[in-house]
Amino acid sequence: MNQPSDDDSLFDHCPWLFAGQASDGQRAAQEERQKRLLGGPGEVRLGEDCFVAETAAVHPDVLHLGDRSYIAAHAYVTDTIRTGADCTVNPFTVVRGTVTLGDGVRIGAHSSLLGFNHGSAPDLPVHRQPVTSRGITVGDDVWIGSHVVVVDGVTIGDHCVIGAGAVVTKDLPAWSVAAGNPARRLRDRREPREPHGAKRPAGVEVAGERRGLSGVEVVGERRGLSGVEVAGERRGLSGVEVVGERRGLSGVEVVGERRGPSGPDAAQERRGQARPEALVEELRAFAAAAREQATELLDRSWRPDTGRYADRPGTEPTVRAHCDAVEIADLLLGDVPPHLPAPEHMERLRALQDPATGLIPEYGATAPLPGPAGVPDGAPAYHVLCVGYALDLLGSSFPHPVHAVRTTTAGRLVRHLGELPWTDRAWHAGAWVDSWATAAHWNLRAGGEAAAPGALEALFGWLHTHADPWTGMWGSPTREAGRLQMVNGHYRLTRGSFAQFGLPVPYPERVVDTVLDHARDPRHFAPGRENACNVLDVIHPLWLCARQTTHRSEEARSWAASQLTAALGRWTPGGGFAFGPTADGSGPGREPGLQGTEMWLAIVWLLADVVGVADALGYRPRGIHRPEPAPAERPV
């Protein structure tokens, strides 16, 4: 640098020089600057060796700045910002809304991370629209180039590099190199880069490649080594679109991959065609009818004689039925079930929890005893999910920690995981993991520890080391049911663990392969044989893995479209959805009820989102089947 170190603007614009070159007077001035922040109206925590430029406009509600992090000249920082260590907010950068950065995040000059949004409904001027915030999350070791914009709701995985000028509107998986408007994933950062001027291997042709220090843009990539061809990639908000896929023994050829937003004007050429307006109109009509009939179907399951909900007429009231009623009312009415005021719904559900164990019995049953590693089998295991999420939708929470899980040690947990029936009852094993991980999640949200020290880390360590790299599953196929147990177990396991905690699933490409192969099994997916569990347990893994990979995305979309059309035809006016047939006669069966309705409403949304038309429904699951990771903070 040419400026002398006694020029204060040097450090404002180049804070990395401050630690080694600042004078005593400049260090004292910086200390005063930080004292003013710490004494201000917001909640401010500053780590060791941080720097905040005097010219930066820093007006936070919450600011947690990790060690050796800095905010440079003329940055604009407001609202709720949390960073790890070694993070840099360079000159003229805007960071607003709810933004969480991992360790080692570098944000180039003139970039904007906008963790909030305004409504745009036509009935109000924009300046009167409500402000919403889903937040932005950036992982560890991420480089965001200059003039980048990251919009609300985006998660950027670890080790990503975002090229200059990109507009990031969709989540990016770990190790992505991305650029463009909207930003698209160009390659995996771990892929070897060819030296400048190096001769390409035979069979590889790249047309129109341009590279630079601050980003990478590849136009018209073609590869011939493994039988894969991709032309004209474009990415955006709601998923992946592949036009003209051809498959063979030696590889895959994909022409025209495209990602687009999930808004009403997005994805205009899904599956190589115009946006399926007939399907959009069918979804809108379905959603309107479901909303119109929601009170009627809830009335059908309300038992005035007991003051409780049953799944359907002629059945006994259950805890799950009450929770399903809360979920359905939230989806279709945007309100609580009309038979009780909201405080009464909350207090009834909260009163079910046993204060000694934190578990929830069925009506009329004694308090359940903890299992070997916390959660017992049976209805109490599912009640951890359904009661917890019903309370969450009501703006409340469990009154007590789930002590049965809170006291589980890592050793007990690992022993029990090894004893679960993965070989022939993987659904049962996965459901147990779902319940245990969800209980740990509620404990964390209550402000306590998930379990005994190291237990939650032991869970994810065990799952990572025991996933089959060939199938992406835990468990094995059986002669009687094929892949049914392992696929259904995968859904339950990943719902409560990886999806709920916002972590990538292991071996996503292999998961997609296994799930799509299973979806062709006529024992479970022939006409008239589909039920809510089996369809959900396919579409959720496909939806979840699509956030990490584009592998076989067109096949996934085609399957989702066919299932979506079939699902809409299962609606019973005034009654909702039936769960569907099961081979062993278990489950609610073919009569419409609350369980089937709650599950199929979520399934319809997931199917529609994979196809790219979920916006037509006008609802989005917020409970057990919410697509986003569950929030980390307790509701207030």
CA distance 308 to 348: 10
Segments forming the whole domain that contains residue 298: 276-617
Domain co-membership, 252 together with 368? no
| Residue in the structure block whose two tokens are 């990251």 | 150
Domain-ending residue, one of 247, 275, 303: 275
Catalytic (active site) residue 118: yes
Domain co-membership, 308 together with 324? yes
Answer yes or no: is 403 within a domain: yes
Domain co-membership, 346 together with 371? yes
Domain-ending residue, one of 227, 246, 275: 275
Between 52 and 248, residue with greater pLDDT? 52
Among candidate residues 13, 64, 110, 118, the one labeled active-site is 118
Per-residue model confidence as pLDDT tens digits over 357-395: 999 999 999 998 888 888 888 899 999 999 999 999 999
Res 629 pLDDT > 50: yes
pLDDT of residue 347: 97
Res 215 pLDDT > 60: no
CA distance 303 to 316: 9
Domain co-membership, 557 together with 441? yes
Domain co-membership, 229 together with 290? no
Domain co-membership, 368 together with 294? yes
Answer yes or no: is 416 within a domain: yes
Domain co-membership, 544 together with 454? yes
User: What's the CATH code of the domain at 155?
Assistant: 2.160.10.10
Domain co-membership, 102 together with 181? yes
pLDDT of residue 584: 56
Res 223 pLDDT > 70: no
Answer yes or no: is 630 within a domain: no
User: What's the CATH code of the domain at 398?
Assistant: 1.50.10
Domain co-membership, 19 together with 98? yes
Between 268 and 93, residue with greater pLDDT? 93
Res 228 pLDDT > 60: no
Answer yes or no: is 592 within a domain: yes
| Residue in the structure block whose two tokens are 């209980």 | 439
Answer yes or no: is 439 within a domain: yes
pLDDT of residue 586: 57
Per-residue model confidence as pLDDT tens digits over 525-581: 988 888 999 999 999 999 999 999 999 999 999 999 999 999 999 999 999 999 988
Answer yes or no: is 624 within a domain: no
The answer to whether the CB of 75 falls within 8 A of the CB of 53 is yes
Res 587 pLDDT > 70: no
Question: What total number of domains does the chain contain?
Answer: 3
Domain co-membership, 72 together with 135? yes
Per-residue model confidence as pLDDT tens digits over 472-488: 999 988 888 899 999 99
Per-residue model confidence as pLDDT tens digits over 188-205: 888 766 554 444 433 333
Answer yes or no: is 521 within a domain: yes
The two three-digit tokens of residue 33, written as one number: 């600057």
The answer to whether the CB of 437 falls within 8 A of the CB of 501 is yes
pLDDT of residue 229: 32
CA distance 303 to 404: 32
Domain co-membership, 308 together with 268? no
Domain-ending residue, one of 259, 275, 291: 275
- Note the pTM of the prediction, 2 decimals: 0.60
pLDDT of residue 517: 93
Answer yes or no: is 635 within a domain: no
Per-residue model confidence as pLDDT tens digits over 307-356: 999 999 999 999 999 999 999 999 999 999 999 999 999 999 999 999 99
Domain co-membership, 243 together with 281? no
| Residue in the structure block whose two tokens are 């040419």 | 2
Banded model confidence at residue 632, pLDDT cuts 50, 70, 90: low
The answer to whether the CB of 577 falls within 8 A of the CB of 564 is no
Banded model confidence at residue 219, pLDDT cuts 50, 70, 90: very low
Average pLDDT over residues 413-427: 94
The answer to whether the CB of 303 falls within 8 A of the CB of 310 is yes
Residues contacting residue 196 through CB under 8 Å, at least 6 positions apart: none
